[in-house]
Chain A
Amino acid sequence: MSNMRSLTFDAIIIGGGGAGLRAALELAKSGKKTAVLSKVFPTRSHTVSAQGGITCAIASADPNDDWRWHMYDTVKGGDYIADQDAAEYMCSEGPKAVFELEHMGLPFSRFDNGRIYQRPFGGQSKDFGAGGQAARTCAAADRTGHALLHTLYQNNLKNNTTFLNEWYAVDLVKNANGDVVGCIAMDIETGEVVHVKSKATVLATGGSGRIYASTTNALINTGDGIGMALRAGFPMQDMEMWQFHPTGIYGAGTLVTEGCRGEGGYLVNKDGERFMERYAPNAKDLAGRDVVARSMVMEILEGRGCGENGDHVYLKLDHLGEEVLGKRLPGIVELSKTFAHVDPAKEPIPVVPTCHYMMGGVPTNVHGQAIMRGEDGKDQIVNGLFACGEAACVSVHGANRLGGNSLLDLVVFGRAAGMFIEGALNEGIDYLDASESDVETAMKRITRWNESEGGETVPELKRELQAIMQNSFGVFREEENMQKGVKQLAELRGRIANAYLPDKTNAFNTARVEALELDNLMEVAEATAIAALERKESRGAHSRYDYPDRDDVNWLKHSLYFPADKSVGQRDVNFKPRTVDTFEPKVRTY
C-alpha cells in the first residue's frame, strides 16, 4: 500500500463529457492545477451522441423569446419537482453559456440573418404555455452533442488542461472527518493503481442507462460516479426517475432525435393513424417525452402496434422531403439506414420507447456542491465532493427532462461548478489528509476482484441485472412486480459480491474495467428499484398502474435514497426562485 504512487491536484474532474470538460475549462483558465480523469478519450464520451440540440432562450428564432418561458416549460415538464431556484439559474444563465460555446467555435447551423438556428422541441411554449409552440432548441444539424463535445475538448487543449485519458476511477477516498479528499484510480493502459489527492473532486461521470437491457446510452454509461458516491455512503436523489425516449430504433435501441418531430415528423400506429392527436390534442407529437412514451406503449398494448409482433410504432418523415432531411437531419438518415435498414425519405422508421436519461443522481446545489443529510435532518454540504451533468440532480429536470435541456444542464452547471471551486480554492481549502487505512478502504473492491478465484463471470450477471430492470422498472410500474424485482436484485447483489475476474493481467485489461463497472450498475439499479417502490404515485416518468394519479399531498417531494440501510426519505423541492414568482403546481396537460 505504502508504495502506491500518488498524484496531487487542486481539482480532479472525473469524466470527460460535456459537464466535465466545461468545468475543467473554467479551472484551467484560472490556472488551478486541474486534471480530467476519463475512462475513454474525452471525445468518446456519451455527450457525443446528443443529436437535436441545446435548448436556450437566445431569442434567435423569436426575438421576443424569454428565459422565464423556458423556465416555466422546464418546471412543468418536470411535473413540479424540479427545484425552481435551479431551473431559474439554468434558464437565465443559459444564453451566456451558449454564446460562449459559439465564441469557442461550435459550428451551429444558421438562419439567413446569420444567427444560430433554433428548432421546435417537445414541451416548449411561448408566454407560459399560452402562446403556442416555441422554437428554442439551438442546433448544429442533428450532431449538436458531437459539435459541442469536440469544441469543448479543443478549447481545453487551447488552455492546456491536464488529461488522464483512459484512466478509471475506482472509488472515492474519504478522510477521518468524512470529507472527500480524492479517489483511487487505475491507469487502464498499464493497470497501475494510483492514489489521486485533490481538494475538490467532481463527479461528471454521466448517466447509467446500461442498467436496462434496451437503452439509447453508450456502452460506457455505467453510473460510475453514482456507484462511487453510494459506496462512500452518500445519498441519491430521485433515482426512480428514468426517462424513456419515445424514439429509440426498434431492435437496436439507437436514438432518433426528437428534432425529427420538431422538424415536422410524426408517429403513426398500424392503421396509419397519427395517434398523438388523441393523447395530446394541442402539442401532439411534441408533448413531454414521458407523455409521448406512455401513449406509444398504450397503442402497442391495445393492439395497434406495428410489425409482425405489433410491438413498435412508426416515425414518419418521408413527407419532409430529401432536402430537409439532408440539411437538418443528416445523421438520422445515416442511422436509420444502418440500424433500421430504411431510408427515411421513403419509409417510416420503426421506433419504441427506450431508456434514455437518468433524472436522478447526486443531490447538489447550483454550485455543484454535493448534499447529504445532516444529523439534524437538514441539508448538509459534503466537503470536497461536487457533481455536475447527468450524474448530478440539481434538480432542474424533476420527474421528466425536456429535450435539449441536457446539453444546457452540462454547460451551465459544469461552468458553475468550475467557478465555485475556483473561488473556494482562492479562499483556501484545508482538509485532513487521508490515512493509510482510509486509502485501504477505497481499495477494497478492486482488491476483491483481483483476488477472486472462481465463481460466476461478469457478462452473465450483467445480462441478468439488465433483464430485471427492464421487466420490473420500465415505462409502467406496479407494486407486486417491483417487489419481485427488488428481491431479485438483492439476491443478485450477493452473487456479484462473489463473482470472478478470470483475467488478472495489467495491460489494457478491459475485463477488469467491466467488472468494476458491474458493481456500479448494481448500486444504481438497486437505488432505482427501492426508490421506485417507495414513490406511491405517478409523476413524470414514474408511472404506476396501482397509483395512477399524481399525489401532491404526499409526494410533491424529492426522494432521497440512503445506501447504509437502503431506506428512502423525502427532501423538500425548492419553490422559491429569486427573481420570478413561484410556478404553482397545476394539472399537466399538453
Chain B
Amino acid sequence: MLQVSIYRYNPETDSAPYMQEFQVDTQGRDVMVLDVLHMMKEQDNGLAYRRSCREGVCGSDGMNMNGKNGLACITPLSEVVKGNKLTLRPLPGLPVIRDLVVDMGLFYQQYERIQPYLQNDEPAPAIERLQSPEDRDKLDGLYECILCACCSTSCPSFWWNPDKFVGPAGLLQSYRFLVDSRDTATRERLSELEDPFSVFRCRGIMNCVAVCPKGLNPTRAIGKIREMLLANGS
C-alpha cells in the first residue's frame, strides 16, 4: 500500500487547507503519479486536479511531488517515491482554487506580456517564408514549451515578483521569438524587457532547468536575452 499525503482545500467547505492521507493499492506496479490520482479520485469523488493528454505534451498536470515540480502523467512512482511515501501539493506560489488546481492567471499574463507571436513587418510571400535549417535549429529547445508552469512556480524570483518578473517560461518564449530569423521586432521586444525586473530578477538559481519536464533550459535563454540587451546598448 502506497501512503499518499495530499493537499486538500475546497473553498466552499473548508475553512483552511489541510493534508489528507490516502492508502492506495498499486498492486506493486510502477504506475504514473496521475494513475495514483485516478485511483484516489475513485475513493473520493471530490478530489480536484487538471489532466488532459496523459502523455506529457499538454501541460495540464504540473504539480509538486515529494517536493519537486513535474508532470504527474510522465512521472513514474519509482522516480519520486521515497520510503513508500508520496506527498502531493499544488504548484507553489500561485493561489489555490481547489486541491491541486491553481489559478494560473499571473503565469499566463507574463506569457502574454512578451507578445508570444511572430511579428514581421514585410508583406508575406505567396509561399512560406524561407528559413535555413541552421536558423530553424535555433528554435529547438525553445518552441517545445508546454506552458505547464513547473519552471516559473519553482523560481524564488517569480515567487517574490510574479507581477514584474516575466519568469522562466515567459522568457524562454521571448527568446524563441527574438532568435527566430523570421521575426523583425527584435528592438521592440528588447525595449519592453529593459527594466530592472522583467529579465534581471533572474538570479541564476536554475530551479527552472532542474524541473522542466521537457528538458528545456530557460536559464540559458535568459542569459542570451541579457547579452542581447547589453549589446542593444541599454
Contact = CB atoms under 8 A, between A and B. Distances in A.
Given A109-B136, A503-B46, A41 B117 contact: no
A46 B53 contact: yes
B12 A114 contact: no
Given A44-B60, A103-B128, A154-B116, A502 B55 contact: no
Contacts of A105: 117-118, 177, 180, 182-183
A505 B143 contact: no
A408 B117 CA distance: 21
Interface in B11-64: 11-13, 41-42, 45-46, 48-60
Chain A interface residue bracket vs B: 35 or more
Contacts of B99: 508
Given A43-B59, A155-B117, A112 B128 contact: no
Given A48-B58, A459-B42, A508-B97, A40 B136 contact: no
B48 A110 contact: no
Contact of A58 (B10, B98, B128): B128
Interface in B166-193: 177, 180, 182-183
A99 B129 CA distance: 8
A556 interface: no
B98 A507 contact: yes
A511 B46 contact: yes
Interface in A104-130: 104-105, 107-116
A457 B45 contact: yes
Interface string A298-315: 000000000000000000
A110 B131 contact: yes
B53 A511 contact: no
B57 A48 contact: yes
B53 A507 contact: no
Nearest to A254: B55
Contacts of A146: 57, 144, 146
B83 interface: no
Contacts of A338: 55-56, 74, 76
A151 B116 CA distance: 9
A510 interface: yes
A508 B98 contact: yes
Given A49-B58, A507-B12, A189 B117 contact: no
Interface in A12-60: 40-41, 43-46, 48-49, 58
Interface in A135-172: 140, 143, 146-147, 150-151, 154-155, 157-158
B124 interface: yes
25 contacts: A41-B60, A41-B147, A45-B58, A46-B53, A46-B58, A99-B127, A102-B128, A103-B124, A103-B128, A105-B177, A105-B183, A107-B136, A107-B143, A107-B180, A115-B127, A146-B144, A147-B143, A151-B117, A158-B117, A219-B53, A220-B52, A331-B57, A502-B45, A505-B10, A507-B97
Interface of A: 40-41, 43-46, 48-49, 58, 98-99, 102-105, 107-116, 140, 143, 146-147, 150-151, 154-155, 157-158, 189, 218-220, 254-255, 331, 334-335, 338-339, 457-459, 501-503, 505-511
Given A109-B136, A151-B117, 6 more contacts: A40-B60, A41-B147, A43-B58, A99-B127, A116-B128, A506-B12
